[in-house]
Structure 1
Amino acid sequence: MSINLSQQTFRSHQLMQIANEATRFLESTPKHTLPLGSTFNGAGVYALYYSGGHQSYKSLGGNPIYVGKAVPTGARTGAITNREEPKLKNRLAEHVRSIQQASNLEIKDFKCHFMIIPIEMSAIIPVVESTLINRYQPIWNTKIDGFGNHDPGSGRYEQARSEWDRLHPGRKWADKLKG
């Protein structure tokens, strides 16, 4: 029996309408300097912007250098908790530490847009992140891989350094990578 793929394919324009609405909202939020001064709870999506003089980033043209997300606890397993946590704030703080450890970047050259997405709508977070990446093609998402990486932990230091860590040396955990 032949499979009719048109009978198996789901399509909805509503999802992209919501993602585009969320993208417009993010773009309308205030741009903040890093590190963020306030503590707040919530998960969501963010875009980082660079205005420094590093030669590799002369052609950004006001577009984000990186787009990322912070999801609620349990999102990866489908067991989202209903407690509010500072997921977005903490993720941005991790990025601040990475930038500050890089020997050839200055945190003063970075700003961010961010938006909090309520827990009951958190399933949209990856879709909004993907929409922003597709729209802006941020260089740290598409060409220079590794900025969002975490310390792989002991026993996993045989892997190679990311391209980002080769271009921006200084993260202490990345210096342990031997591959």
Structure 2
Amino acid sequence: MGINADLNLHIFRSSKFRSVVDDAIRFFSETPAHRLPPPDRFIGGGVYALYYIGGFELYRPIAFLNSRALMQPIYVGKAVPAGWRTARTQISESANLFGRLVEHARSIAQATNLDIDELQCRFMILQNIESDLVVPVEAELIRRFMPLWNSVVDGFGNHDPGSGRYNQAKSEWDILHSGRPWAERLTGASPRLEDTVEKVQRALRKLPLP
């Protein structure tokens, strides 16, 4: 027998939660920018963003927006502290966030048409109770800015699938930016470069250019 429940009695809403996330976003937006990866290793997990400032023709609208101030991330990501999923998080003793930025720097350095000096990064360390904000802050940054490598071009954060799994297709990111050695071993039916370029161009036409 069905139950005619008033679902509004089950939906939690909190203006305080929205306020805390907004405060975190404001703090994040005011953090210093660094080269990729940052020069000094640091401890902790949190949220980060990459900003493109180079001369790759397809990304010219993004580079233009970032020419005076870093306004439009091309990628947003997170690195949860050790123990986060089992609610055992304390002050992290591992360099989760720094390690993720190093991984991304390696991917970009391996690409044949990108240069590591063409990207900068921001990051925000979240520890103790504030580590619970890692997921909502990342999600809100992606919603607000729709970074290209999150919302349009898939595959930037992919890893080597390992031996025996190279029958997969290349991601759109690896079609646009060939060079990662493990991606060159993939043999599956990949997206067409022309289709991926057109998809990016359509998305970038929606950017709020001044």
TM-score tier by shorter-chain length is: over 0.9
- Rg comparison, structure with higher value: 2
Does the CA-based 8 Å contact 1:47-1:65 persist in structure 2? yes
Gaps of 5+ in 2: 67-71, 189-210
Q: Pick from 20, 23, 31: which aligns with 2:22?
A: 20
Which residue pairs with 1:78 in the alignment? 86
Q: Pick from 114, 119, 131: which aligns with 1:122?
A: 131
- More relative contact order, 1 or 2 (CA 8 Å, 6+ apart): 1
Matched, 1:153 2:162: yes
**For the residues of structure 2 that align with 1:81 and 1:177, how far apart are their CA atoms?**
37
Which residue pairs with 2:206 in the alignment? none
Which residue pairs with 2:44 in the alignment? 42
Instruction: Report the TM-score, using the length of structure 1 for normalisation.
Output: 0.94
Q: Pick from 156, 168, 172: which aligns with 2:181?
A: 172
Which residue pairs with 1:137 in the alignment? 146
More displaced 10-residue stretch of structure 1: 160-169 or 150-159: 150-159
Q: Which amino acid aligns with 1:78?
A: T
Runs of 4+ in structure 1 off by over 4 angstroms are none
The alignment's C-alpha RMSD in Å is 1.3
Identity %: 51
Q: Which amino acid aligns with 2:11?
A: T
Cα 1:81–1:24, aligned 2, differ >3 Å: closer, same or farther?
A: closer
Task: Tell me by how many angstroms 1:172 deviates.
Answer: 1.1
Secondary structure of the equivalent of 1:113? Answer: strand
Secondary structure of the equivalent of 1:124? Answer: helix
Secondary structure of the equivalent of 2:124? Answer: strand
